[in-house]
Amino acid sequence: MTSLHADEAFLAHYQFSHDPFAPRVPGFKFFPAQRKPVLGQLHHLARYSQLLLAVVGPEGSGKTLLRQALVASTNKQAVQSIVVAQGVTGSEALLRQVAQGLSIAQADVRSILAQVGQLALTGQEVYLLVDDADQLDDAALKGVLALAAGNAEGRPHIFLFAEQDLLARLEALAGGEECYHAIELQPYAEEETRDYLAQRLDGAGQGIDLLTEEQIEDIHVRAQGWPGAINQEARELLVEQMLAQRSAGRGAGGGFALPKKHLLALAVVLVGVAAAWFMQGRESASPAPVASNTSLPLQSSAPAVDAEEPVQAPAAASRAPAIEFAGASQPLPLPLVGESQTVIRQPLAEAAGEELDNFEPPTSPEPSTATPPSAPIAPAPAPAPAPAPAPAPAPAPAPAPAPPAQQSESATPKPAAPAPAPKPAPAPTPAPTPAPAVASGGAATSWYAQQPASRYALQVVGSRSEANIQALVREGGSEYRYFKKVHQGKPLYVLTYGSFSSRDAAQAAVKTLPAKLQAGKPWPRTLGSIQQEMSR
C-alpha cells in the first residue's frame, strides 16, 4: 500500500477532515499551555531589555510555532520583523538576508545599524528572528552579538530559537559579559497533553473519546510532554489501532471462503441437481437415454457448463468483501508528501492576541511608551510632578494607615518625615526613611554605583513617569530603588528590587514580590549592566 493510500485509509477510517497530527494543519490554533507566559515574556523583554533573547528547547518543543506566534502578534505598524530563513549558517548569508529585509544594499553591521537607527526616528522598531540558530557558525554568532549590542545610531531586538547547546557557545563568545537572556521551554503536564490532543482532534472533526485514558497516559509518557513527539506518538497509536480493527474484521468476514473442500463438494452437488433438473425437461422428447442420467452430471457436456455458472458467482461474491473496505474509492483531502501547508496567519494572530491580553500587545505607533505596563501597577492618578507645599511636622503620623497608592506626589516628603518618631506604633513603617531616593533618585544612583558589578538585582518595571515609580518605592520599602536611563530619546525610570549574590537567588525572590509586580514578569540582571545603562 502506497503512502497516499495509507493516508486515505487513515482519514477514512476515523472520518477525519485532515490529519490532526500533521505539523501544520488547516485552522490551527495556538495552544496556550506552557507557551502563553513565554510569548508574553518575549514581548515584555523586547520592550524593556537591551539583551539578546534566546529561546531554547529540544526538537519538537514548539520553537518554530512560538516564533510564528511572536511575529503574528506584533504591531505591524510599529515593528518590522525580519525572519532569517532556515539553513543559513554563515555570517555573509546572515547579514545579506538582514540587509534585504531592511531594503539596503550594504550587507555589513554598521550599515544595518544605521538603517535601524533611521527607522527608530520614524517610530519603528526592528525585530530580527533566527530559527534553528544553533546551526549558525561562530562567525555568524559574532555578527549577531554585534547587532544586538548596537551603537549610538540604533539597536535591533534579536530573538534566537535554538537547542540547548547554543547557550554554551554564546557564553564562550561573550567573554564573561552579560549579553543575552535565556528562556527555556518546558514540556506539557499530563492534563495539558490531554487538552492538546483534544484540540487537535476537534480541529479534524473528532473528539478525545477516540483515545482511552490509558492511551493518553501512554502517549504522554512516551512523548515526555513535548508537542512534536505527542503528535507522532498519537498518530502511530491510531494507525496501529486501525490496522488491528481491520485485521479482526477481515478474519471474521473471510471465514466462509476458507474451507475449499467444502466448497468443492457443494459445487459438485449443485452441478448434479442442476443437471437432473435439466434432463427432466427432455424426458418427454427422448425417453430412451433416461438410464444414462447418472453419468451426465459427471461429463463435460454443454449443459454442464451452463449449470456451473451459478456455482462460480457465489464463490466470487463471498471472496469480494475480504479485500475491499468502505471509502477506498472516495477522494479525501490530505497533505501530500512534500506539499507544505502554511500556518494560517489570521487564526494564529487572533489566538496570539487573545493570549497577550495581559501583556498589552502594541496598538499604537510607539509600542515602547511603557504606559500599559505601568497602568496595572501604579494605581496613583499621578497629577503632575510638582510637589505641593509639604508641612513637615503635620504629616508625620499620616503614614500609619499606609495607603501610599492614593497619595500624590505631594506625599513624597510625608513618609520621609518620621525623624522624631515619638510614637512606638508607627515606628516600624517609617523607619527606613527613603526620602532622598524617592525625591530625586540621587541616593539610589550612588547606591547603584557603589555595588559590585557581579551582584544581581530584579528589574521589576519601567515607566515614563517618575512619580509612578516613586509611589512604588514608598509602598515597597527600602529594598526598592530606581534608576534613570534614556530609551528612544526619552527618559525611562526603571524600578529594581534587592541585591543578590547569584542569579538563582534573585530569581527565587520573584515569588516574594506582590502579585501585581509579579504580573510584570521581573527578571534578574547584573548590577554591572545597570551601571552601564546609567553611564549611557
Report d(CA 140, CA 84) in Å as an integer.
12
Q: Where are the alpha helices (DSSP H) in 281-365?
A: 302-319, 345-355
Cα–Cα distances in Å, from 455 out to 27, 92, 289, 462?
Answer: 48, 37, 120, 20
In the prediction, which pLDDT does 253 show? Answer: 53
In the prediction, which pLDDT does 442 show? Answer: 57
Residue 513's Cα: distance from chain center in Å?
Answer: 27
Residue range 479-491: mean pLDDT, rounded: 85
Q: Give the three-class secondary structure for 491.
A: strand
% pLDDT > 90, the chain = 29
- Tell me which range, 154-168, 263-277, 301-315, 370-384, is most confidently predicted by mean pLDDT: 154-168
In the prediction, which pLDDT does 3 show? Answer: 53
Q: Give the three-class secondary structure for 45.
A: helix
Location of C-alpha cell 508607627: 426
Report d(CA 49, CA 76) in Å as an integer.
20
The set of cell numbers assigned to 26 is: 488547516
Backbone conformation region of residue 421, classed left if phi is above 0, alpha if psi is from -120 to 50, else beta? left
Residue range 457-486: mean pLDDT, rounded: 88
Q: Which helix (H) or strand (E) holds 53?
A: strand 52-56
Does residue 106 surpass a pLDDT of 80? yes
Residue 113 · residue 145 · CB < 8 Å: no
- Per-chain mean pLDDT for the chain: 73
The set of cell numbers assigned to 88 is: 543559513
Residue range 138-142: mean pLDDT, rounded: 92
In the prediction, which pLDDT does 7 show? Answer: 77
- How far apart, in Å, do the first and last CA atoms of the chain sit? 68
Residue 57 · residue 185 · CB < 8 Å: yes
Q: Is the dihedral of CA 83, 87, 93, 95 positive or negative?
A: positive
Single-letter amino acid, residue 196? Y
Note if the pTM is more than 0.75: no
The CB density around residue 252, as the number of other CB atoms within 10 Å, is 9
% pLDDT > 70, the chain = 65
In the prediction, which pLDDT does 284 show? Answer: 47
Residue range 119-141: mean pLDDT, rounded: 92
Does residue 288 surpass a pLDDT of 80? no
Single-letter amino acid, residue 312? Q
If one compares 89 and 387, the residue with the highest pLDDT of the two is 89
Give the pLDDT confidence of 505-526 residue by residue, as tens digits: 998 999 889 988 887 788 888 9
Residue 533 · residue 449 · CB < 8 Å: no
In the prediction, which pLDDT does 528 show? Answer: 86
* CA nearest neighbour of 347 among 72, 17, 8: 72
Pairing of strands 125-131, 157-162: parallel
Residue range 51-70: mean pLDDT, rounded: 91
Residues in the chain: 536
Does residue 494 surpass a pLDDT of 50? yes
Kindly indicate the confidence band of residue 144, based on its pLDDT and cuts at 50, 70 and 90. very high
- Domains contained in the chain, CATH given: 3-28+189-253 (no CATH), 36-184 (3.40.50.300), 255-282+292-322 (no CATH), 404-421+428-535 (3.30.70.1070)
In the prediction, which pLDDT does 33 show? Answer: 83
For the beta sheet containing 456-463, the strands, ordered from the edge strand earlier in sequence to the opposite edge, are 480-487, 490-500, 456-463, 523-526
Report d(CA 184, CA 56) in Å as an integer.
5
In the prediction, which pLDDT does 352 show? Answer: 38
Report d(CA 353, CA 488) in Å as an integer.
25
Residue 47 · residue 93 · CB < 8 Å: no
Residue range 384-404: mean pLDDT, rounded: 43
Residue 236's Cα: distance from chain center in Å?
Answer: 23
Report d(CA 454, CA 26) in Å as an integer.
50
Does residue 437 surpass a pLDDT of 70? no
Does residue 458 surpass a pLDDT of 50? yes
Kindly indicate the confidence band of residue 35, based on its pLDDT and cuts at 50, 70 and 90. confident
The alpha carbons of the chain give a radius of gyration, in whole angstroms, of 38
Backbone conformation region of residue 176, classed left if phi is above 0, alpha if psi is from -120 to 50, else beta? left
- Tell me which range, 54-58, 363-367, 427-431, is most confidently predicted by mean pLDDT: 54-58
Residue 155 · residue 128 · CB < 8 Å: no
Residue range 194-219: mean pLDDT, rounded: 91
Report d(CA 24, CA 269) in Å as an integer.
61
Number of H helices, E strands in the chain: 20, 9
Report d(CA 312, CA 314) in Å as an integer.
6
Report d(CA 180, CA 165) in Å as an integer.
14
* CA nearest neighbour of 15 among 392, 326, 401, 385: 326
Lowest mean pLDDT among 22-26, 112-116, 256-260, 371-375: 371-375
